[in-house]
């Protein structure tokens, strides 16, 4: 009973917030509603008893990914509305049609998914984090390692891109503008 109420509440709020993300012309509204929607999605994991995944959703999406978006938003004037440019109506038509198709598939999924068997059923008496770890280090070991290597590559690339002038600090160097003005 409570779970159903919570589920419908979370669904309505999540859909509403993501609608705001898409429809709003204000960057700040979009970003805030996206972050809030991510928090509510972790609520679904908690409802399903997957506490660990719920917290991972919180830490990864809310704590890290959205904060990086927010950091990029610093370069815009967040208090002003943006004007949207719509260059190709064919593209809008195509994307809209695909979204509608996806919606049909989503609603049809329970009918198709009636006879699906879990290939890795939950083991009784094993905690959340442990069962995720078991699947991750047996069935999905190769994708897991590949993802680790990819992250390492991205990290090294990031360090090389940013690290050219890493050794001298901008704070301790005199501002070139001030130096020029003094010499004039």
Partner 1 sequence: MEVTVLPEVTWLGVVIKAVIILAIISAIAGFGTYLERKVLAFMQRRLGPMHVGPYGLLQILADGIKLFTKEDIVPQNANKLIFQVAPAITAATAFIALSAVPVFPDFTIPEFIPLLGGTFVPSMAADLNIGVLFILGMMAAGLYGPLLAGMAQANKWGILGSARTAIQFLSYEVVTGLSILAPIMLVGSLSLIEFNDYQAGGIGSWMMWQQPVALILFLIAGFAETNRTPFDLLEHEAEVVSGYATEYSGMRWGMFFIGEYANMITISVLAAVIFAGGYNDLGFLAGWFVIILKIAFFFFLMLWVRAAWPHVRPDQLMWLCWKVLMPIAVINVVITGFVMMA
Selected binder of partner 1 within 48, 63, 102, 133 (CB under 8 A): 63
Q: Compute, in degrees rounded to 10, the torsion defined by CA atoms 155, 156, 157, 163.
A: 100
Q: Name the segment binding partner 1 (CB under 8 A); options: 3-11, 124-132, 139-147, 150-158.
A: 124-132
Gap between the Cα atoms of 60 and 173, Å rounded: 36
On the CB side of 19, how many CA atoms lie within 13 Å of its CA? Answer: 6
Selected binder of partner 1 within 6, 13, 47, 55 (CB under 8 A): 55
Q: How far is the CB of 23 from partner 1 (least distance, A)?
A: 15
Select 5 or 100, whichever has its Cβ closest to partner 1. 5
2 Cβ contact partners less than 8 Å away, ≥ 6 residues apart: none
170 interacts with partner 1 by CB under 8 A: yes
Say if residues 40 and 21 touch (Cβ distance below 8 Å): no
Q: How far is the CB of 139 from partner 1 (least distance, A)?
A: 22
4 Cβ contact partners less than 8 Å away, ≥ 6 residues apart: none
29 interacts with partner 1 by CB under 8 A: yes
Select 7 or 28, whichever has its Cβ closest to partner 1. 28
Selected binder of partner 1 within 78, 126, 134, 141 (CB under 8 A): 78
- The 10 Å Cβ neighbour count of residue 184 is 4
Gap between the Cα atoms of 153 and 146, Å rounded: 11
Selected binder of partner 1 within 4, 119, 138, 171 (CB under 8 A): 171
Six-digit token pair at 60? 């990864």
Give the interface with partner 1 as residue ranges (CB under 8 A).
Answer: 26, 28-29, 32, 35, 39, 51-52, 55-56, 58-59, 62-64, 67-68, 70-71, 73-74, 78-79, 127-129, 169-172
């Amino acid at each position: 009973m409570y779970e159903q109420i919570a589920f419908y509440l979370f669904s309505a709020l999540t859909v509403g917030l993501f609608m705001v993300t898409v429809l709003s012309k204000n960057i700040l509204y979009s970003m805030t509603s996206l972050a809030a929607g991510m928090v509510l999605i972790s609520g679904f994991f908690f409802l399903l008893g997957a506490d660990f995944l719920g917290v991972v959703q919180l830490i990864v999406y809310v704590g890290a990914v959205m904060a990086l978006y927010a950091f990029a938003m610093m370069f815009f004037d967040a208090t002003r509305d943006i004007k949207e440019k719509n260059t190709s109506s064919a593209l809008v038509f195509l994307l809209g049609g695909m979204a509608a198709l996806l919606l049909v598939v989503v609603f049809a999924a329970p009918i198709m998914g009636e006879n699906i068997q879990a290939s890795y059923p939950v083991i009784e008496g094993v905690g959340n984090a442990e069962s995720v770890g078991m699947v991750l280090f047996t069935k999905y070991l190769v994708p897991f390692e590949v993802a680790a290597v990819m992250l390492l590559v991205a990290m090294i690339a990031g360090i090389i891109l940013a690290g050219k002038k890493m050794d001298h600090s901008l704070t301790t160097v005199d501002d070139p503008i001030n130096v020029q003005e003094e010499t004039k």
